[in-house]
Structure 1
C-alpha cells in the first residue's frame, strides 16, 4: 500500500511566504482521508484560506509539496486538478441561466453535448432545484444561488470539493439549513470536502475533522467533540466556544491532575494538559456549562463561593455572571427548567466543578494571526 494511498489530500512540509520573511503557512503537514469532511478553522490571517488556495492551484507553495492521492500537483494547472470549488459570493454568471451555469464547467472540459444535459439534471436534483434550471441567478434567493454554486461544483464529478466560507453571505436561519444540506450531500455521495470557515458552530456541526489554525500552523487536528471537550492548548480553548479562563501557579503534579494556587491564595484541582513543572504559571480552562450551582460535596470537586453579578435570560438556559476567587468573573450556564430560576445581584451562591472539567493549559494563549 502506497505512502499516501489512504489520503485524498496530503500537504507535505508546505510553507508559503509572500515577502520571504513571514510564513503565512509554516511547514504544514496534513492528510485528508478519502470521503472525509475536514474544516479549516481559525482567525483572519491564520493561513487557512491560503492552504485552500494552494490546494485549488490559485496560489503556489513556496516550499513543500501537495498531493492528490499519489499525484503531486504543485505544477498542475487549476483546471487540470479535477477539483470543485464553492465560493462565498457564489461566482455565478449573471447572464446565464441556472442550467447554463452548470453546463459551463462541463463544456470547458469538452464533455459531449449528449452527456451535458443528464449531468446538469442530476446535479440540480441533488440540491432540489430541478424546477429552476431556466431561471437567471438574479431571480433566485441567496440560498437558492448557493445551492446552484454547490451543484456547479459537483456537476463534473470532481475528486475533491473545496468550499471557501460558502455560507458567509446567508442569514442565520438559512445558513444553518444549508449546513445540514451540504452535510447530507457529502454523506450521500461520499465526497472528500475541505471547508474553510471562521464560524465555530459551522465547523463543529458539519465536520468529521477540524483543523484549528493560528500563525500558519495547525494548533489542533481532531474530531469536533475532541476539539471542544479536550482543547490541547490555551489558544484552542479560548478560540472554540465559551470558556472561563483564569491563571495560577502549579504547586503539585501527579496522576494526571495538578493543584493550582490562584492569586488570592485559593487552590483548585485541574486535569494536567500542560507539561509545565511545579512553580510554573498555567492558564486554567473551564466551560460555563460544566459549573454546578449548589454542587454535591464529593471527592474530586472544587467547591467555592461566588457573588451573583447579573443573570441573563437566553431562553433555553440562563447565563449567570458570578464573581469568584477575589475578583474573577465566571459565566455559569444553567438549564432553564422553570420560569422561577431567579438569582439576584449580590446573592452569595455555592458553585463547583469536577477536576476533570477544569484543564490546566499552557500559560500564554498567543495572539491570532493578523490579516
Structure 2
C-alpha cells in the first residue's frame, strides 16, 4: 500500500524563549489527514507550545512546520486555514451567539446570505439553533464551549486545534462534551490536534496520543498500545494507574529478564527497556492484572504481601498492599471476585504473569 503523505509535519522543530533552554527539542511529528491526535503531558512538557507553533501564535526557533505540503513558518495565523478552540472559550461578550459564529466568515468576506446559511448549519450541528440571539453571558459553560466549537468549524478549516477545551467544565459535562467532539470528528472527518494533561480524556477521544515530557515525545501510539505497552517508565507512570517496583536485573533471557527485589524475591518480567545485568530497573504492573490468594497459584510470579487497607468503590475494590519493598502496591479487582474474608493485616500470596510486568528504565 502506498504511504500517504502526512497532512501536518513538524521537522526538527525547536523552541526556546531565552536562546538557551529548549521548551521543545527537535520535534519530528507526522499527523494524518482525518486523524484525532492528542498531545498529552504535564505542565511545561512542551505540548501547548507545539500547538501554538502550529497555530501561528508562537514562532519556531528552528525547523519546519508544513500543512498539506505547504510551509507554515512565515504564515500569519489568519492565513493558515486553521480553526482554534481555547479553554476559556474566547467568545466576544458584546456579540450574540450568531455573531460570534459568523465572525470568521466576516473576516473572510463571504456574502451576507452565505454567512447566514453557514451560521445556521453550524448552530444546528451543535444543537443550538434557537440560541443565535443570546449573548455568551446568558449561556452555561457547556453551551459557550459548543459555540466556540461552532465558530472554529464554520469556515470549514483544514485543521482544528483544541487547547484544553474542556478544562473549565465539571466532570459530567466534560465527559459529555468529550463524546460530542469525538462524534463531530467522526461525522465530518475532521483533522483534530488536541492538547490536554488529562490522560483519561486522551485515551477516550484519540486515534493516537503523543506523550510529551521535558520538550520531547516519549511515545506516540494508539491509546491501547500506550496503556498496555508503555516504552519507558515515564509513559507507564503517566498513562493510567501503575505499580512501580525498583529492582536489580539478575539475568536477561531473550524477551524476558529476572529482577531481584529489595526483599530478596525475584520477578520474571518482559525486558522492554533494560540497560543490562546488574543495572537498576523499574518494574511496571497494572493494578488490575494482579491476582490474590488461591487465584495467584498458577501465575509466573508469586510473592508475599500484607494488606494495609482496602477501599470499596462500587464496581471494584482497591487494596493497598506492602510487598517487594513497596508500601503502596495497589491491587484493583471487581467486587464479584473479591474474597470478603480478607482483612487488614492479613498476609497473602500475590501473583501476576511475566508478560504483564514490564522492566523499564529508571524513572527520573
TM-score (norm 2): 0.97
Q: Aligned-pair distance for 1:358? A: 0.5
Distance (Å, rounded) in 2 between the aligned partners of 1:96 and 1:261: 65
- Residue 273 of structure 2 aligns with which residue? 274
Q: Does the Cα contact within 8 Å between 1:211 and 1:222 map onto a contact in 2?
A: yes
- Residue 297 of structure 1 aligns with which residue? 297
Distance (Å, rounded) in 1 between the aligned partners of 2:187 and 2:337: 41
Distance (Å, rounded) in 2 between the aligned partners of 1:340 and 1:301: 22
Q: Aligned-pair distance for 1:252? A: 1.1
Q: How many residues align?
A: 363
- Residue 26 of structure 2 aligns with which residue? 27
Distance (Å, rounded) in 2 between the aligned partners of 1:106 and 1:290: 52
Distance (Å, rounded) in 1 between the aligned partners of 2:238 and 2:339: 33
* Higher mean displacement: 222-231 or 317-326: 317-326
- Residue 120 of structure 2 aligns with which residue? 121
CA 1:296–1:346: 2 relative to 1, 3 Å: closer
Distance (Å, rounded) in 1 between the aligned partners of 2:264 and 2:253: 21
Q: Does the Cα contact within 8 Å between 2:274 and 2:281 map onto a contact in 1?
A: no
CA 1:9–1:108: 2 relative to 1, 3 Å: same
Distance (Å, rounded) in 2 between the aligned partners of 1:327 and 1:67: 48
Distance (Å, rounded) in 2 between the aligned partners of 1:282 and 1:353: 18
- Residue 308 of structure 1 aligns with which residue? 307
Q: Does the Cα contact within 8 Å between 1:248 and 1:263 map onto a contact in 2?
A: yes
Distance (Å, rounded) in 1 between the aligned partners of 2:157 and 2:2: 22
Moved over 2 A (4+): 294-298, 325-329, 338-343
Q: Does the Cα contact within 8 Å between 2:96 and 2:132 map onto a contact in 1?
A: yes
- Residue 16 of structure 1 aligns with which residue? 15
Verify: 1:227 aligned to 2:226, yes or no: yes
Distance (Å, rounded) in 2 between the aligned partners of 1:326 and 1:79: 56
* Higher mean displacement: 317-326 or 101-110: 317-326
Distance (Å, rounded) in 2 between the aligned partners of 1:72 and 1:342: 65
- Residue 132 of structure 2 aligns with which residue? 133
Distance (Å, rounded) in 2 between the aligned partners of 1:267 and 1:275: 16
- Residue 189 of structure 1 aligns with which residue? 188
Distance (Å, rounded) in 2 between the aligned partners of 1:338 and 1:283: 29
Q: Aligned-pair distance for 1:315? A: 1.1
Distance (Å, rounded) in 2 between the aligned partners of 1:288 and 1:85: 38
Distance (Å, rounded) in 2 between the aligned partners of 1:253 and 1:240: 26
Q: Aligned-pair distance for 1:28? A: 0.2
Distance (Å, rounded) in 2 between the aligned partners of 1:339 and 1:221: 36
Q: Aligned-pair distance for 1:275? A: 3.6
- 5+ residue gaps, structure 1, are 367-371
Q: Does the Cα contact within 8 Å between 1:38 and 1:210 map onto a contact in 2?
A: yes
Q: Aligned-pair distance for 1:170? A: 0.1
- Residue 147 of structure 1 aligns with which residue? 146
- Residue 369 of structure 1 aligns with which residue? none
- Residue 40 of structure 2 aligns with which residue? 41
- 5+ residue gaps, structure 2, are none
Distance (Å, rounded) in 1 between the aligned partners of 2:75 and 2:47: 21
Q: Aligned-pair distance for 1:340? A: 7.2
Distance (Å, rounded) in 2 between the aligned partners of 1:99 and 1:199: 31
Q: Aligned-pair distance for 1:6? A: 2.5
Distance (Å, rounded) in 1 between the aligned partners of 2:230 and 2:5: 27
Q: Aligned-pair distance for 1:29? A: 0.2
The secondary structure found in structure 2 opposite 1:337 is helix
